[in-house]
Every structure is written in structure tokens, then in C-alpha cells.
């Protein structure tokens, strides 16, 4: 089965900084968020991820859509920071769009707002070029307001930036029913004498010394357990 293709689109770039305020630039923040999303997706999931830009360059809106269309992306995800008086998070899809796109927006919106401080401004529709010109389901997220004092403080906090990125990852995971890549079988055993207990949903399933035994216990539970812990005894 071919991998799902996700095109991530960090807004603006190069001579177009996007919104600028409080010592922050939209083009830089969205690139950081987009790279983080890509990194987490590629490391943990079996998906193909590309970005419309991966450095500080100007790309037209038409070129962004063309990159996604030519590649045959399955999903398009455009990342922006808001401005203009307000606070919080909102997401956009094209004004006239499919049920598939609506459910894409809903899942993304819920997962991102679920981990974000600040106001939920709602799921919206707009005639944005990247949403209109892309052939696949496309969502554009506006992640906090750069010109709002409180939001801009959040945007300067790397844990908030990571949470924003993780919200996007979780949305995609849920939408695509992605499960983490299989753990690689380790070659060596643990240091002699060290014993680990494995707990599944807070219940001990056993204590193990060999790494392969620990991993096989964990593997069995991935996708089933809510919580898997490995603890040095």
C-alpha cells in the first residue's frame, strides 16, 4: 500500500514576512511549527511528508498549490499565525468544499484546540487561494495572534510551539488512523542485573531482563493499551 502523502505549507517566506509584531515574524514561526510537524510525523509514522518551503524563501500561493497538486498529495495543511486584533485559534476550509474536507477540518480543529491555551474562535470557511487551488482536502490553521500580548508570549514559548505542532500531528494521526512505526528489535540485552517491570494500564504484566522480552510485551499492547510503562525495578 502506498504511503499517505501530506503537503505541509508554512505560510509566507522570503520578502513576505506575514504578520510581524512583538519581535516575532509569522514566516519564521510557521516554518518552525511545520518542520516540527514533519519531523514528528516522519520519525514515528509511515507517511510521506513534503513542505512547500523548508527555508526562508518566497513562494507564490499558486506555486504552493501546484507543488501539492503535481505531487498528488492526499492532504494539504497550511500553517499561519493570525493578526489584526483578537486572540486564539481558528481553522479554515474553502467556502465550497467536500464532506471529506469538512471532517478533515473538524478532526484537526478539535485536536489542536484540545492542547492549546487561548480562545477557540471556531471552524471557518474562506476563499483563500491555497484552499481554492488545491485539488485535495485542504485546511489552513491560524495559530494564535502575533499582535496580541498574551498570545505573543505563548508564541515565544517553545513548549507552546511544540504543543501546536503536536496538535496538528495528533489530528493527522486520528484522521488517517496512523499507528506508530514498529519498534526496532534491539540487539543487546540490558546491563546485567537490571530488571524492568512492564505495566499496562497501571497493572504489572511482568518483570524482564532481556530487552527483546520487554519490547515484545510492549509491542503486544500498542494500539490496545492507553498507558504503557517500563520501569527499572
Nearer to Zn ion, 13 or 47 (CB): 13
The verdict on 11 binding Zn ion (CB under 5 A) reads: yes
CA atoms within 13 A on the CB side of 119: 10
What is the number of other CB atoms lying within 10 angstroms of the CB of residue 8? 26
Residue 25 annotated among the catalytic residues of the structure: no
Span of 11-19, 69-77, 89-97, 146-154 interacting with Zn ion by CB under 5 A? 11-19
Closest CA to 139 of 165, 174, 108, 99: 108
DSSP code per residue over 150-206 = HHHHHHT-HHHHHHHHHHHHHHHHHHHT--PPPPPPPSSPPSTT--EEEEETTEEEE
Set 26, 110, 142, 182: catalytic member: 142
The verdict on 53 binding Zn ion (CB under 5 A) reads: no
- Pattern of binders to Zn ion over 16-35, x per CB under 5 A? --x-----------------
The verdict on 10 binding Zn ion (CB under 5 A) reads: no
Query: Minimum distance between the CB of residue 113 and Zn ion, rounded to whole angstroms?
Result: 19
N-term to C-term CA, the chain: 41
Query: Minimum distance between the CB of residue 145 and Zn ion, rounded to whole angstroms?
Result: 11
Nearer to Zn ion, 10 or 137 (CB): 10
Span of 45-53, 75-83, 150-158, 163-171 interacting with Zn ion by CB under 5 A? 75-83
Are the beta carbons of 108 and 175 closer than 8 angstroms?
yes
> Rg of the chain's alpha carbons, rounded to an integer?
20
Q: Are strands 228-232 and 196-200 parallel, antiparallel or unpaired?
A: antiparallel
Are the beta carbons of 92 and 126 closer than 8 angstroms?
yes
Nearer to Zn ion, 79 or 107 (CB): 79
Query: Minimum distance between the CB of residue 21 and Zn ion, rounded to whole angstroms?
Result: 13
Q: Which residue is at the shortest CB distance from Zn ion?
A: 80
C-alpha grid cell for residue 164? 501546536
The verdict on 137 binding Zn ion (CB under 5 A) reads: no
Span of 2-10, 74-82, 97-105, 114-122 interacting with Zn ion by CB under 5 A? 74-82
The verdict on 80 binding Zn ion (CB under 5 A) reads: yes
Query: Minimum distance between the CB of residue 119 and Zn ion, rounded to whole angstroms?
Result: 18
Span of 8-16, 90-98, 113-121, 125-133 interacting with Zn ion by CB under 5 A? 8-16
CA atoms within 13 A on the CB side of 186: 12
Query: Minimum distance between the CB of residue 233 and Zn ion, rounded to whole angstroms?
Result: 51
Compute the C-alpha angle 44/117/61, nearest 5°: 65
Residues labelled catalytic:
142
Binding site for Zn ion (CB under 5 A): 11, 18, 80
Amino acid at each position: 500500500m502506498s504511503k499517505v502523502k501530506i503537503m505541509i505549507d508554512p505560510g509566507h517566506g522570503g520578502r513576505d514576512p506575514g504578520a510581524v509584531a512583538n519581535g516575532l515574524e509569522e514566516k519564521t514561526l510557521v516554518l518552525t511549527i511545520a518542520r516540527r510537524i514533519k519531523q514528528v510525523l516522519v520519525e514515528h509514522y509511515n507517511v510521506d511528508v513534503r513542505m512547500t518551503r523548508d527555508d526562508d524563501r518566497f513562494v507564490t500561493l499558486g506555486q504552493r498549490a501546484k507543488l501539492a497538486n503535481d505531487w498528488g498529495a492526499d492532504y494539504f495543511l497550511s500553517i499561519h499565525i493570525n493578526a489584526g486584533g483578537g486572540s486564539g485559534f481558528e481553522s479554515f476550509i474553502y467556502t465550497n468544499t467536500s464532506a471529506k474536507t469538512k471532517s478533515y477540518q473538524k478532526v484537526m480543529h478539535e485536536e489542536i484546540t484540545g492542547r492549546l491555551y487561548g480562545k477557540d474562535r471556531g471552524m471557518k470557511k474562506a476563499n483563500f487561494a491555497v484552499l481554492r487551488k488545491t485539488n485535495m482536502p485542504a485546511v489552513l490553521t491560524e495559530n494564535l495572534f502575533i499582535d496580541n500580548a498574551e498570545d505573543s508570549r505563548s508564541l515565544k514559548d517553545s513548549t507552546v510551539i511544540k504543543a501546536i505542532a503536536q496538535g496538528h500531528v495528533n489530528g493527522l494521526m486520528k484522521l488517517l488512523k496512523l499507528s506508530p512505526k514498529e519498534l526496532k528489535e534491539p540487539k543487546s540485552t540490558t546491563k546485567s542485573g537490571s530488571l524492568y517491570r512492564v505495566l499496562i494500564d497501571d497493572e504489572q504484566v511482568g518483570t524482564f531482563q532481556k530487552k527483546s522480552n520487554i519490547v515484545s510485551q510492549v509491542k503486544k499492547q500498542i494500539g490496545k493499551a492507553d498507558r504503557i510503562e517500563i520501569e527499572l525495578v
